[in-house]
């Protein structure tokens, strides 16, 4: 490369923390620094003379067409010769490096283009923290508790299992009805375990179709399918060194079960659209509200996968089997709602408590929390009385033979409607009344298909 001295700058550029590479006008790599080697895993002798496409940067836009004059838009005459972007680069071992890349043209004294210089800044930690903040935000809005509440014998057994399971790297599966707190148990296992310093990543397997689920689990490369405009890290790769929580694992399609089994056997996988294996170190925590043995008999769940994930089973009891925990749950939720809303609700009258104790709680702890949210919205201050309860709880008190199965609307929906009415449709104020965030209000409105105009008219 005529026009500037590469060797004279080598000592200087090797002190840089950013990766640096010099690229010729034909796209061949002319030189890299030591930070580039550390970031990508490639030695300089492995890349010099090869095309920079070796890195598989998902932000690069090749313009090599039948009538194309240049191979990269950076060198196009109508460009400014300067580019800055966030991107993902494929390392030598197949893992993805989240990076900030700056590229600019190098010219001689006459303005003739000699090549380009690119710097690569590792922003993987920033991406990881962004994901963690997003996860914690969702957990705060949806769960509202940072610990599991209960002192009954069944829950004491659960606590003992959590403590023992947390110290193991073996797969854990949590069985329990919807609303029993499986996600809280999974997070408690992570926070008490040896991997607590690593990432905690979760995925609801029932919420996605086959194609999206595969991409979410294993990631994809640019161009793998329509709409794949960038490389994407999957949940397995994001959880490297930590725990991956797969909620509703009984809903995973058979085709994905095969690939999941392979990961559990080899601890490596390929991204969608790629054939290079990626190795990971992940502990699997799964959960389901289904009977997997029945699914196996129906050929809807692989028996060999079941054996892999069912190493340490934890069974969560439904709330109807631990009713002695209800007063403790009520006090905990009321205190939590007090802290969030500032409302002076101090407790519950004996009549209201009897309604809570008599109700069968088909929706378990999640339903109890929603029922309290409703009462918190309706009551002004002091004690929650029977007149502040959702209608179906009062019906249980009036009719001891009732089973609770006649409930038409869940307390969560009723509480949301009441909060929206009191706030005159203001979702931020409704969220404050319920002690949740505005995003959760929006998600619940979508979940129950609530039209705000109709809610205000009724």
Q: How many Cβ atoms sit within 10 Å of the Cβ of residue 216?
A: 20
Q: Which range, of 141-155, 252-266, 430-444, averages the lowest pLDDT?
A: 141-155
Q: Once rounded to an integer, what is the mean pLDDT over residues 118-146?
A: 63
Reduce the DSSP state of residue 204 to 3 states and report it. strand
Q: How confident is the model at residue 71 (pLDDT cuts 50, 70, 90)?
A: low
pLDDT above 80 for 66: no
**Which residues lie below 8 Å from residue 11, measured CB to CB, with a gap of 6+?**
none
CATH of 7-122, one of 3.30.450.20, 3.30.43.10, 3.90.76.10, 3.40.50.12780: 3.30.450.20
Which of 10-19, 24-33, 238-247, 420-429 is most confident?
A: 238-247
Q: How many Cβ atoms sit within 10 Å of the Cβ of residue 75?
A: 19
Averaged confidence pLDDT in the chain: 85
**pLDDT by residue (tens digit) across 210-219?**
989 999 999 9
Which residues in the chain are classed under CATH 3.40.50.300? Answer: 126-317
Which residues in the chain are classed under CATH 1.10.8.60? Answer: 320-457
CB 217 within 8 A of CB 234: yes
Nearest to 175 by CA among 77, 293, 42, 324: 293
pLDDT above 60 for 67: no
Task: Determine what percent of the chain is predicted with pLDDT higher than 70.
Answer: 86
Sign of CA dihedral 37, 42, 46, 50: negative
Rounded distance between C-alpha atoms, residue 100 and residue 86, angstroms: 4
Q: Which fold has domain 320-457?
A: Helicase, Ruva Protein; domain 3 (1.10.8)
pLDDT above 90 for 352: yes
First to last CA, the chain: 76
Q: Which fold has domain 126-317?
A: Rossmann fold (3.40.50)
DSSP per position, 318-350: PGGG-GGGHHHHHHHHHHHHHHHH---EEEE-H
Q: How many Cβ atoms sit within 10 Å of the Cβ of residue 118?
A: 22
Which residues in the chain are classed under CATH 3.30.450.20? Answer: 7-122
Q: Once rounded to an integer, what is the mean pLDDT over residues 96-112?
A: 86
Q: Which range, of 263-277, 383-397, 400-414, averages the lowest pLDDT?
A: 400-414
| pLDDT of 400 | 46
Rounded distance between C-alpha atoms, residue 150 and residue 156, angstroms: 8
49 against 7, higher pLDDT: 49
**Which residues lie below 8 Å from residue 447, measured CB to CB, with a gap of 6+?**
none
| pLDDT of 141 | 41
| pLDDT of 80 | 59
This prediction has a pTM of 0.73
Nearest to 310 by CA among 261, 361, 269: 261
226 against 156, higher pLDDT: 156
449 against 173, higher pLDDT: 173
Rounded distance between C-alpha atoms, residue 420 and residue 245, angstroms: 33
User: Distances in Å between the alpha carbon of 264 and those of 168, 205, 300, 316, 440?
Assistant: 16, 17, 19, 25, 34
User: Distances in Å between the alpha carbon of 82 and those of 16, 32, 316?
Assistant: 20, 19, 57
| pLDDT of 252 | 95
């Amino acid at each position: 490369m005529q026009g500037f001295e590469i060797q004279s700058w080598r000592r200087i550029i090797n002190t840089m923390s950013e990766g640096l590479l010099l690229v010729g006008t034909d796209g061949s790599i002319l030189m890299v620094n030591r930070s580039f080697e550390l970031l990508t895993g490639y030695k300089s002798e492995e890349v010099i003379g090869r095309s920079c496409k070796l890195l598989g940067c998902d932000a690069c836009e090749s313009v090599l067409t039948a009538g194309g004059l240049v191979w990269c838009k950076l060198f196009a005459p109508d460009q400014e010769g300067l580019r800055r972007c966030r991107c993902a680069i494929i390392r030598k071992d197949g893992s993805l490096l989240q990076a900030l890349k700056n590229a600019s043209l190098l010219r001689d004294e006459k303005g003739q283009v000699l090549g380009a210089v690119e710097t690569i800044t590792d922003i993987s930690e920033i991406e990881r923290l962004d994901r963690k903040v997003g996860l914690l935000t969702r957990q705060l809005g949806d769960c509202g508790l940072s610990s599991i509440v209960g002192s009954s014998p069944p829950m004491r057994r659960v606590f003992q299992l959590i403590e023992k399971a947390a110290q193991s790297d073996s797969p854990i599966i949590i069985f329990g009805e919807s609303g029993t707190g499986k996600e809280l148990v999974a997070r408690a296992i992570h926070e008490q375990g040896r991997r607590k310093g690593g990432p905690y990543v979760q995925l609801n397997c029932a919420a996605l179709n086959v194609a999206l689920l595969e991409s979410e689990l294993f990631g994809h490369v640019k161009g793998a399918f329509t709409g794949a405009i960038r490389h994407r890290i999957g949940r397995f790769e994001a959880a490297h060194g930590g725990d991956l929580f797969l909620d509703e694992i009984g809903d995973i399609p058979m085709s994905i079960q095969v690939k999941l089994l392979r990961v559990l056997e080899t601890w490596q996988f390929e991204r969608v659209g790629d054939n290079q294996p990626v190795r990971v170190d992940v502990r699997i925590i799964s959960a389901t509200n289904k009977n997997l043995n029945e699914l196996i008999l129906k050929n809807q769940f692989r028996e060999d996968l079941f054996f892999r994930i069912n190493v340490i089973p934890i069974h969560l009891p439904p709330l109807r089997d631990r009713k002695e925990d209800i007063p403790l749950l009520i006090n905990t939720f009321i205190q939590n709602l007090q802290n969030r809303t500032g409302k002076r609700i101090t407790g519950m009258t004996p009549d209201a408590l009897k309604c809570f104790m008599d109700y069968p709680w088909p929706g378990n702890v999640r339903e109890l929390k929603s029922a309290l949210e409703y009462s918190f919205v309706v009551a002004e201050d002091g004690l929650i009385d029977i007149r502040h309860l959702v209608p179906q709880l009062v019906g249980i008190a009036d009719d001891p033979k009732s089973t609770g199965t006649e409930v038409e609307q869940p307390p969560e929906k009723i509480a949301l409607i009441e909060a929206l009415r009191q706030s005159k449709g203001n979702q931020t104020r409704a969220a404050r009344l319920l002690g949740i965030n505005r995003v959760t209000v929006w998600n619940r409105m979508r979940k129950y298909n609530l039209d705000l105009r109709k809610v205000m008219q009724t």
